[in-house]
Structure 1
Amino acid sequence: MKLMRTEDAVGQVLCHDITQIIKGVTKDAVFRKGHIITEEDIPVLLSVGKDHIYIWENNENMLHENDAAKILYDMCANKHMTPSEIKEGKIELIAECDGLLKVDTERLNAVNALGEMMIACRHGNFPVKKGDKIAGTRIIPLVIEKEKMERAKKAAGEKPIFELIPFKKMKAAIVNTGNEVFYGRIKDTFTPVIIEKLKEYGAEVVGHVVSDDNHEHITAAIQKFLDEGVDMVLCTGGMSVDPDDRTPLAIKNTGAEIVTYGAPVLPGAMFLLSYYGEKKRPVIGLPGCVMYAKRTIFDLVLPRIVAGEILKKADIDTLGEGGLCLNCPVCTFPNCGFGK
C-alpha cells in the first residue's frame, strides 16, 4: 500500500473503498477496492476529502482489509448463518433461521484483545429471528499482517465463536393449580399468557388441566402428561412458601430432578426448574408474576428450553447481574438490560 497525491494517481489501483457521507442522504462507496483511477475520477475524489490516496502495492506479508475480513468471518460463522457483502473490511453474520444464539465469550474476547480487528455481536442466550443481524466484524486498518491473522485464528480456536441453535417443535402441557380456579371462584387468566409465550418459539400446547391444591392430584396430573409423551410440563400457581402452596412438592413427587427452586431474578424469584427421566424433559413451576408482569424469569429461560438446552443451577445463578426488570412504561425486551 502506497500513499500518493490524488492528482498523480491516474491509472493506479485503489486498495480500499472510498466512502461518501452526506447526512440524511447517503453513506456509500463512490469507488470500490480495485477501481482503476481515471482523470474524471480526480474531482470526485477531491470532493470527498481525498487529497491523497492509497494505491495498491503487492506485499506477500500483508493482507488487504477485505481478505482479512473473510478470515474473521470464518472464525465466527457456524451453521444457520450467512455472510453479508464484504464492504470496507466489514462482514456481518445474518441468521438463516429462528433460534438461540450461543457466544463463546472467552474466545470472542481473546480475538478482540489482539487489536486492529473487532467482532461485535448480540448477547448470547437470547433468541434471534431469521434475517436478524447476529454479529459484525471489521478489520481496522486498510492492510494487516498475515501473521496477526494467524494469531487471531489461534485465539479463536478450531470451533466457530458463534452457534445458532434452531428452536425445536416442542409439545407442552399446562397444569393450573389452585382451589380458587378449580372451583370457579376466579377466572383462569394464567393459561392464555403461557400459550402466547410458547407461540413465540413455535411450541404447541397439547394438554391443559386445572387441579385443586391437593399435591397428590397435582402430581397425578403432571405424571399423566409425562406418560402421554409431552416434551415439557408447565405448572402455574402454588409456587410461594405459603403452607397451602403445594406445587413444588407435587413436582418433586413425580421423581423429577430439581435443578433449582428460586432464581436471582425479579420478577420471578419463586421459579422452579426440574427435569424428568432419562430424556430430561423439563417440568417447570411458574410463579404468579409470569401471569401479570410483561417480562420475567420465564422469558430468560424459555428460549433456552425450546432450543433443547439442559440448564444447570449455575446457569440460573448467573442471572443475578441484569436480573432486575425495570418495568419500563414501554417494554423493549430483549433490546434492554434485562437478563444481560
Structure 2
Amino acid sequence: MKFGPVPLSRAKGAVLAHSIGLEGQRLRKGRTLTAGDIAALDAAGIAEVTVAALDESDVDEDSAAAALADALAPDPAALGLKIAAPFTGRVNLHATQAGILRLDADALHAINRVDPSVTIATLPDARFVAPRTLVATVKVIPYAVPADVLNRAIAAAQPESLYVAPVVRDTADLILTEVPGMKPSLLSKGQAAVEARLATLGVTLASVRTVPHDTDALADALGEGGAALTLILGGSATSDAADVGPAAVEAAGGHLERFGMPVDPGNLLFTGQLNGRPVIGLPGCARAPALNGADWVLQRVVCGQDPTPDEIAAMGVGGLLKEAPIRPQPRSRGPVTARAPKVAVLLLAAGAARRMEGRDKLLEPVDAEPLLRRQAERALASGAARTVVVLPPDRPERAAALEGLDVRTVIARDAAEGMGASLRRGVLALDDDVDAALVMLADMPEIDTPHIDRLIAAFSPDDGREIIRSTSADGQAGHPVLFGRRYFESLAQLGGDQGARSIVAEAGEHLVDVPLDGVAAITDLDTPAQWAAWRKARGEG
C-alpha cells in the first residue's frame, strides 16, 4: 500500500486518508474516491489529497477484518456469538446468549504478535455477559494489509479461542442457617440478595429452607434438594474446613473441594460436591448486593465452567474488590459494557403504486414470492432486532403477503398523504429501547440482508455516526437510511409527502454515506416498463 499526498488526477479509486469538509457535504476518511468526489474537490480548489493506494497484493481493511473474524468463529452460532458486518476495518463480535466468555489467551496473543496492523481486543476471560454484549472486536488499523500478513494472522487464529459458555444450571436450592438470637430480617435480607443474584444469571430459586446452624440439621437439608446446585448461607461465618457448613457437606455424603479464596470480599467461601451437583457455601458478604468473590465462582458454576482449586487461587490477582480509601465515593455500579445497538427496520409499504397501471408493485413476484414478503424476509434475516412494516388501510393483500412472518404491522390510515405520514406512523410505533431505525423502502428489490447489516455496522453514536445513508457504488444517494434515536422526534413530526431529506441535509458531520454494490441503493421500480427492464436485466426474459 502506498500512502501519501497525490494530485487529484491520480486520486480516483484511492482511499481518502483524512476527512475533508466541502460546501454542503463532508468526505469522510476511509471513503473510496469516485469521479464525483474528484469533481467536488476540484470545484473547491483542492489540488491534492492524502490517500492510501492499494497494491495488488493488499487486502482492504474490511475484507481483512471479516476474514480474521470468520477464522476465529467459523460457526459463530455454535460459539454463542454473532459477527457484525465490517466497517472502517472493524468487525465486532457480540454474545447471542447469557453466559461466561471463555478465551484462549495464548491464541489471541499470537494473533496480536503477527503484525501491529492486525489486532483483536476482548473482554476479560470468565466475564459473565448478557445477550448483545460486545465481547471482542477485530480491527485492521491501516486501510489495507499485505495478504501474507493477513494469512499469518488467520493461521494463528484458533476456531474456539473465544466463545460464550451458556447457562446450563438454571435452578438452585438455598439453605439458610440461623443461630440463636438472629434477627429474622437477616434471613429475609440474605434470601432476597441471593435471589437477585441468581435472577441476573437467569437462574431460578427452586426452594428455600431455613434450619438451625447445626451440622446434622444442615446435612439433612442438603439431602432433600433436587436443583442443579445448592447454595448455603450460614447464620455464622465459616471459620474452618471442619466448621458446620463444610462438615455438613461431608456428613451428607459429599466432599469438600476448597475452603477459602484469595478474593476480598469473599474470603470465606467454600465449594464442594454432593450427588454429582455443586455446593457453594456463600460468605456473609453475599447478603449485600456488592460484587464479591462468590459472584465470580457462581457465574462460572451456573455455566458449567466449575473453577478448579487452582483457578480459584488465580483469582487473587485482581481480587481486591474492596473500595480504596482514596476514592471520593464508593462505586455505584459495575463497569459499563458495550452492547450491540438495538436497530429496528421500518419497512415502508404504504404507497399507492399509482404508476403501475392497476398492478400492485409490492405484490409483483420476485424469486417466486411477492416482493413485499421477500424484502421483509431479508430484513428479518439481518442483525436488526425487529422489523416493523407500515401498511395502508386499503390493501389487505399486502398484509396477507406477510402472513407467518415475525413482523409487526402498523396501519398508516393517512398513508395517502405521502411518505412523511408513513414515516411518522412507523417511528411512533417503535419501542422505547430501540436505538436506531433503518428506513427501508419495500419497492427496492436489490436491497439484501448484507446491505442492511453493513448500515447497522456503520452506526456508532459514540463516534458521531448517527445517520447512515446508502449510496450507489458511484456515490449517488439512495436508500435505505438509518437514523439514530436522537432524530426520532424530528421523524415523528413529518407529515404529508415530506420525506426525511431535510433531516439528512441538516445532519452535517453526523451523516455517513455507505456505498452499496452497484446500483442497489437507487433501484426502485415504479412502472411496468421499469419492472420489465429489470427482469430482462436479470435474465428473466
Q: TM-score range by the shorter chain?
A: 0.7 to 0.9
Q: Specify the alignment match of 2:332 in structure 1.
A: 331
**CA positional deviation for 1:245:** 5.0
**How far, CA to CA, are the matches of 1:247 and 1:253 in structure 2?**
10
Contact 1:89 1:139 in 2 (8 A): yes
**How far, CA to CA, are the matches of 2:141 and 2:185 in structure 1?**
65
Q: 1:133 to 1:144 in 2, by over 3 A?
A: same
Q: Specify the alignment match of 1:88 in structure 2.
A: 88
**How far, CA to CA, are the matches of 1:113 and 1:44 in structure 2?**
45
Contact 2:166 2:303 in 1 (8 A): yes
1:62-141 aligned at under 5 Å gives the runs 62-77=58-73, 78=76, 79-115=79-115, 116-141=117-142
SS at match of 1:322: coil
Match of 1:257 among 255, 258, 261: 255
Instruction: Choose 1 or 2 for highest CA Rg.
Output: 2
**How far, CA to CA, are the matches of 1:156 and 1:267 in structure 2?**
37
Q: Specify the alignment match of 2:266 in structure 1.
A: 268
Deviates more, 1:126-135 or 1:197-206: 126-135
Q: Specify the alignment match of 2:155 in structure 1.
A: 154
**CA positional deviation for 1:172:** 0.8
Q: Specify the alignment match of 1:303 in structure 2.
A: 299
Q: Percent identity?
A: 22
Code of the aligned partner of 1:276: L
Q: 1:19 to 1:102 in 2, by over 3 A?
A: farther
Structure with more of its chain in helix, by fraction: 2
**How far, CA to CA, are the matches of 1:302 and 1:201 in structure 2?**
9
Q: 1:181 to 1:19 in 2, by over 3 A?
A: farther
**How far, CA to CA, are the matches of 2:36 and 2:282 in structure 1?**
66
SS at match of 2:231: strand
Q: Specify the alignment match of 2:280 in structure 1.
A: 284
**How far, CA to CA, are the matches of 2:44 and 2:153 in structure 1?**
34
Q: 1:46 to 1:161 in 2, by over 3 A?
A: farther
Code of the aligned partner of 1:288: G
SS at match of 1:134: strand
Code of the aligned partner of 2:109: N
Code of the aligned partner of 2:231: L
**CA positional deviation for 1:85:** 2.9
Q: 1:7 to 1:50 in 2, by over 3 A?
A: closer
Q: Specify the alignment match of 2:163 in structure 1.
A: 163
Code of the aligned partner of 1:265: V
Code of the aligned partner of 1:147: D
SS at match of 2:267: coil
* Aligned pairs, number: 322
**CA positional deviation for 1:62:** 2.7
Code of the aligned partner of 1:41: A
**How far, CA to CA, are the matches of 2:104 and 2:241 in structure 1?**
43
Q: Deviations over 1:3-31 (max 9, x none)?
A: 56242236x213x4656499xxx999466
Q: Specify the alignment match of 1:40 in structure 2.
A: 39
Give the root-mean-square deviation of aligned CA atoms: 3.1
Contact 1:179 1:211 in 2 (8 A): no
Code of the aligned partner of 1:317: A
SS at match of 2:224: helix
Q: 1:29 to 1:95 in 2, by over 3 A?
A: farther
Q: 1:45 to 1:317 in 2, by over 3 A?
A: farther
Code of the aligned partner of 1:148: V
**How far, CA to CA, are the matches of 1:274 and 1:243 in structure 2?**
11
Contact 1:6 1:46 in 2 (8 A): no
Contact 1:239 1:247 in 2 (8 A): no
SS at match of 1:274: strand
What TM-score, normalized by structure 2, do the two folds share? 0.54
Q: 1:183 to 1:215 in 2, by over 3 A?
A: farther
Does 1:236 find its partner at 2:233? yes
SS at match of 2:223: helix
Code of the aligned partner of 1:137: V
**How far, CA to CA, are the matches of 2:43 and 2:194 in structure 1?**
59
**How far, CA to CA, are the matches of 1:154 and 1:270 in structure 2?**
44
Q: 1:289 to 1:230 in 2, by over 3 A?
A: same
Q: Which has the higher contact order (CA 8 A, sep 6+)?
A: 1
Code of the aligned partner of 2:230: V
Q: Specify the alignment match of 1:202 in structure 2.
A: 202
Contact 1:181 1:187 in 2 (8 A): no
Q: 1:176 to 1:84 in 2, by over 3 A?
A: same
**CA positional deviation for 1:52:** 2.8
Extract unaligned runs of 5+ from structure 1. Answer: none
Does 1:320 find its partner at 2:316? yes
Contact 2:258 2:271 in 1 (8 A): yes
Q: 1:181 to 1:73 in 2, by over 3 A?
A: farther
